[in-house]
Amino acid sequence: MCFKIIKIYLSGEPDKSNLEERQNFNTDVIVLMEEEDDDGNNTVKLVKYVASFFTYTNLFDLRARHIKTGEYLNGKYFYAKNMVLIDDCSLSNIEDVIHQMIEEGEFKEAFLKI
C-alpha cells in the first residue's frame, strides 16, 4: 500500500526556540494522507489518522501532578490511546518519526484511522 502525506496537524506546538518546552510537551497529531484504495482499481482516497505524542519528560511531570491530585490512582498508572513517546515535540521531529514509522511499517499500529 502506498502512502503520501498531504498535511500533518498538531493540536498544540511548543515554542520552537524553547528546548525545555519542546522536551516537556504533549500534542495530538492528525495526519492527512492519500492512500491507494484496496479495491484493486488503483484509486486513491484521502484518509485521516490520529495519535497522541508525549515526551518522556512530560510523562514524568504528569505522573508527579497525578500523585498530587489523586488522578490515575495517585499516579500509579497512565493511559492514552494511540500513544507515541518522543524526545522532542517539535513539528520537524514529529514529521521525522511519522516518516520512520511508515517506512518501518509501524504507522498503522500506532495511529488510529478516523
Is 8 within a domain? yes
One DSSP character per residue, 62-95 reads: HHHHHHHH-HHHHHT----TTEEEES---HHHHH
Q: Over range 51-60, report the average pLDDT.
A: 97
Q: Is residue 73 part of a domain?
A: no
Across the chain, mean pLDDT equals: 94
Report the pLDDT value the prediction gives residue 1, as an integer from 0 to 100. 55
Instruction: Give per-residue pLDDT as tens, 90-103.
Output: 999 999 999 999 99
46 within domain boundaries: yes
* Total domain count, the chain: 1
Residue 13 lies in a domain: yes
pLDDT, residue 12, reads: 95
pLDDT of 56-76, one tens digit each? 999 999 999 999 999 999 999
Within a domain: residue 70? no
**Residue 66 lies inside a defined structural domain of this protein:** no
Q: What is the mean pLDDT of residues 20-33?
A: 96
State the pLDDT confidence band at 6, using cuts at 50, 70 and 90. Answer: very high
DSSP strand E in 2-56: where? 3-10, 26-36, 44-55
Instruction: Show the domain range for 24.
Output: 3-55+83-113
| Residue 63 domain-assigned (yes or no) | no
pLDDT at 14: 93
pTM of the model: 0.90
